[in-house]
């Protein structure tokens, strides 16, 4: 019997044996990457570089000898990973920290990006000889700070809330305008006039912001009033709502990246049930997204092709790091009277990571002339300057005397709805740095309708008396009726930050 001519030339379908091999390789890569996190945290080496190294080692120039050059697939998976990373970052962003920093962060994410693109593109054109279209593309690609890099590095450094809030909000906001610019510069034909680009960016940001805020508010409202049958469903629902915000924003011709970040931030500040479990789940999914994204980007690069692009990449990176970024920070923060020490740190903390490398695949997919060289230069730039900037940030913060004063640790309160009893069960542990240490139960002054029902200390549980003194490491269970649930949680957090006199002395 002759073979079906229609089937001739088709690739062999995926079999169970192929799946077994794929699962084995992926699990080993994840285990190596998890172990690498431990090594990178001790050495100060950014983990993204370790993941990129794993991908390169698996590639055609490494021991794995895997040939991978699918820029379209890399872009799709990179976008999906970035959605998860932005969702995780938004869930961990505290509104009270970024609210004072919103004007400055918005200026950096919009005006700052424009300044950085212009200065970097001019440097690339005049110093390396790139054509203007290529220069504008590379200027736009590298002008976005990377959310994953900023979130992972800054949350390990005790910095003033204004600095951390500004940098986190900027990294969450500036992906949207940069993506719009890269797509506009990479599209065939003449580039639109600046006012057309500006109007398009403003419209997409407005649509994305409206959808993100609406989806986040509706999602938080639903999760706070619906008792799901299993606590493990809450993290899944939160991530599904965040991804839905991205998809809705993108399909409405808005900025999906801004939508997912804002929706996640709204939910992250809504005191949802089983919140610690949700944060842990989002953190784990975020790590998987980072690992997969960086390994895939490492596979896409061909090290022996990087030689000719190293010097131009270093020159462009020098212009970006020493001229464009500091200039954008100084000009954008001029109206806000930010101290020069904080401006210096924010200038140096413009970390690049996977986002620029992912965006560098856009001109490759669009077939822009010289797009492979652009990708190689962006790759070299990100690796070299992340290696320089990331480990030196703590040292610079100490030299600038920023973050010397440690703030009281916030309480990680978990809430479980008691639907039949019209109440909530709040559980939390007293952190080491909490000012709740030494406070008596009666001094908590919880609102009527709420009470501390159980304390777990050194593995032993007991029902506390009003005179029971709380200690570091104590685990508390608090029962609160629906009407006073928010007030009880707010009071507990206030005491954790300001001690038993919180509210009387203007603290909390």
pLDDT in tens, 29-53: 888 888 777 666 665 566 777 788 8
Cβ pair 436, 476 in contact under 8 A: no
| Domain membership flag for residue 19 | no
Identify the domain boundary among 399, 432, 464: 399
CATH number of residue 491's parent domain: 3.30.70.1450
Neighbours of 458 (CB within 10 A): 7
| H/E stretch holding 424 | strand 423-429
pLDDT in tens, 238-256: 999 999 999 999 999 888 9
Q: For the chain, what percent of residues have pLDDT higher than 90?
A: 27
466 and 381 fall within a common domain: no
CATH number of residue 255's parent domain: 1.20.1530.20
Q: For the chain, what percent of residues have pLDDT higher than 70?
A: 87
Q: How many angstroms separate the CA atoms of 119 and 332, rounded? A: 14
Identify the domain boundary among 365, 399, 433: 399
pLDDT in tens, 224-235: 888 777 778 889
DSSP three-state, residue 1: coil
Cβ pair 399, 340 in contact under 8 A: no
378 and 437 fall within a common domain: no
Q: How many angstroms separate the CA atoms of 357 and 374, rounded? A: 10
Q: What is the mean pLDDT of the chain?
A: 83
319 and 435 fall within a common domain: no
| Domain membership flag for residue 100 | yes
Q: In the predicted model, what is the mean pLDDT of residues 285-301?
A: 85
Q: How many angstroms separate the CA atoms of 250 and 240, rounded? A: 15
Range of the domain at 470: 414-498
**Phi first, then psi: what are they for 427, rounded to 5°?**
-130, 140
Q: How many angstroms separate the CA atoms of 396 and 206, rounded? A: 36
Greater confidence (410 vs 465) lies with 465
227 and 163 fall within a common domain: yes
386 and 476 fall within a common domain: no
194 and 88 fall within a common domain: yes
2 pLDDT exceeds 70? no
Distances (CA, A) of 366 to 71, 72, 176: 10, 10, 19
90 and 203 fall within a common domain: yes
* Burial of 500: CB neighbours in 10 Å, binned 0-12, 13-18, 19+: middle
pLDDT at 413 (0 to 100): 63
330 and 446 fall within a common domain: no
| Domain membership flag for residue 93 | yes
Give the count of alpha carbons within 13 A of 167, CB side only. Answer: 28
pLDDT at 107 (0 to 100): 92
pLDDT at 420 (0 to 100): 59
Q: How many angstroms separate the CA atoms of 194 and 259, rounded? A: 24
Q: Which of 123-137, 142-156, 194-208, 385-399 has the lowest mean pLDDT?
A: 142-156
DSSP per residue over 255-281, as a string? Answer: -HHHHHHHHHHHHHTS--TTHHHHHHH
Distances (CA, A) of 395 to 155, 156, 163, 400: 15, 13, 16, 9
| Domain membership flag for residue 47 | no
The tally of domains found in the chain comes to: 2
pLDDT at 493 (0 to 100): 86
Per-residue pLDDT band for 122 (boundaries 50, 70, 90) equals: very high
List the helix and strand counts (H, then E) for the chain: 21, 5
| Domain membership flag for residue 407 | no
DSSP-derived pairing of the beta strands 460-462 and 450-457: antiparallel
324 and 277 fall within a common domain: yes
DSSP-derived pairing of the beta strands 450-457 and 475-481: antiparallel
282 and 311 fall within a common domain: yes
pTM of the model: 0.74
pLDDT in tens, 348-406: 988 887 788 888 889 988 888 888 999 999 999 988 888 888 778 878 888 888 865 44
Q: How many angstroms separate the CA atoms of 12 and 477, rounded? A: 58
């Amino acid at each position: 019997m002759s073979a079906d001519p229609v089937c001739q030339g088709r690739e062999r379908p995926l079999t169970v044996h192929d799946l077994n091999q794929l699962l084995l390789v992926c699990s080993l890569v994840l285990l190596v990457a998890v172990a690498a996190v431990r090594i990178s945290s001790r050495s100060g080496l950014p983990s993204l570089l370790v993941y990129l190294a794993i991908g390169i080692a698996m590639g055609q120039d490494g021991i794995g000898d895997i040939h991978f050059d699918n820029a379209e697939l890399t872009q799709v998976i990179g976008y999906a990973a970035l959605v998860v990373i932005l969702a995780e970052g938004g869930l961990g962003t505290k509104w009270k920290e970024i609210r004072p920093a919103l004007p400055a962060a918005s200026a950096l994410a919009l005006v700052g990006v424009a300044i950085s693109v212009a200065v970097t593109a001019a440097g690339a054109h005049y110093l390396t000889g790139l054509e203007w279209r290529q220069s504008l593309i590379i200027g736009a690609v590298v002008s976005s700070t990377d959310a994953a890099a900023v979130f992972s590095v800054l949350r390990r450094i005790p910095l003033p809330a204004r600095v951390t809030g500004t940098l986190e909000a900027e990294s969450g906001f500036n992906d949207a305008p940069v993506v719009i610019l890269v797509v506009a510069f990479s599209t065939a034909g003449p580039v639109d006039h600046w006012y057309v680009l500006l109007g398009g960016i403003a419209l997409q940001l407005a649509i994305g912001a409206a959808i993100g805020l609406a989806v986040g508010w509706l999602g938080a409202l639903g999760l706070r009033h619906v008792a799901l049958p299993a606590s493990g469903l809450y993290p899944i629902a939160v991530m599904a709502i965040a991804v839905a915000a991205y998809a809705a924003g993108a399909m409405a011709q808005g900025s999906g990246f801004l939508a997912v970040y804002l929706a996640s931030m709204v939910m992250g500040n809504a005191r949802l049930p089983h919140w610690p479990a949700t944060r842990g789940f989002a953190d784990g999914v975020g790590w998987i997204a980072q690992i997969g994204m960086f390994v895939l980007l490492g596979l896409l690069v061909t090290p022996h092709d990087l030689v000719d692009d190293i010097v131009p990449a270093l020159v462009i990176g020098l212009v970006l790091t020493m001229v464009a970024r500091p200039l954008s920070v100084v000009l954008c923060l001029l109206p806000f009277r930010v101290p020069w020490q904080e401006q210096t740190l924010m200038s140096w903390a413009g970390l690049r990571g996977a986002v620029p490398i992912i965006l560098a695949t856009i001109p490759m997919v669009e077939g822009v002339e010289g797009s492979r060289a652009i990708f190689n230069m962006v790759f070299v730039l990100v690796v070299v300057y992340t290696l320089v900037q990331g480990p030196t940030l703590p040292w610079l913060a100490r030299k600038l005397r920023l973050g010397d004063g440690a703030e009281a640790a916030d309480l990680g309160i978990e809430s479980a709805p008691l639907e039949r009893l019209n109440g909530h069960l709040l559980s939390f542990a007293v952190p080491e740095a909490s000012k709740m240490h030494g406070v008596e139960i009666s001094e908590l002054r919880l609102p009527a309708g709420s009470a501390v029902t159980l304390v777990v200390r050194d593995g032993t549980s007991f029902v506390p008396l009003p005179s029971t003194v709380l200690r570091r490491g104590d685990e508390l269970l608090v029962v609160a009726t629906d009407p006073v649930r928010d007030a009880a949680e707010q009071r507990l957090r206030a005491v954790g930050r300001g001690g038993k006199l919180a509210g009387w002395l203007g603290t909390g």
